[in-house]
Amino acid sequence: MKRNTKWIIGILGIAMLVYTCKTAQNTVQLQRDAAGKIVVNPNPSTAYLSPAESMKTIHLQKGYHIELVASEPMIKEPVAIAWDGNARMYVAELLTYMQDADAKGEQQPFSRISLLEDTNNDGKMDKSTVFVDHLLLPRMMQCVGNALLVNETNSITITSYRDTNGDGKADEKKIVYKDDKYKPSDMNMEHQRSGLDWNLDNWMY
């Protein structure tokens, strides 16, 4: 089954655009029990929600607000993002992940990474370009300089992709790390390695 893209983008938006300001209006009003704990509906509706409707169901702590920066059809099946130094957002789109209950075609290299840009400085992405295509479920991304490091499922090879002519598409590909002896112990993608983050010492592990 497909993930609710609207929920994912709404949640990602919290991490992307959180400011110290008054709480946004039109967010859900919480109910609490006698102990002060938030009352959660154990049987939420499975009805499809628009981006605006999804945002209204998200609870924010006092002093925060959320803004929508991107949604379908600009992106599809987003699972991870990475920012570069020019406030451009790279989005990993897992186009083959669990398209049905049997995960048919999941191991086909049809996923991609798109580059989203805000060209008019209004805080919303308005331009999308497929940065690199034909990937096998890209699971790690990190911007380093003017390149994007990428790792795909079933591998620990890390590849550097770079756009050398400014058209928003990667035209340079270099392998920066490879281990031919590595074989995933479990082909289930949820059980494989993930995360390509800067540590406090400015190294990646």
**What is the overall mean pLDDT for the chain?**
85
pLDDT at 41 over 90: no
Instruction: Report yes or no on 159 lying in a domain.
Output: yes
Q: Which domain holds residue 21?
A: 5-191
**For residue 88, what pLDDT is reported?**
97
**For residue 1, what pLDDT is reported?**
46
Confidence of residue 19 (pLDDT cuts 50, 70, 90): very low
Instruction: Report yes or no on 61 lying in a domain.
Output: yes
Instruction: Report yes or no on 205 lying in a domain.
Output: no
pLDDT at 29 over 80: no
Instruction: Report yes or no on 200 lying in a domain.
Output: no
Other CB atoms within a 10 A radius of the CB of residue 192 amount to 17
Q: How many structural domains comprise the chain?
A: 1
**For residue 185, what pLDDT is reported?**
65
d(CA 131, CA 153): 18
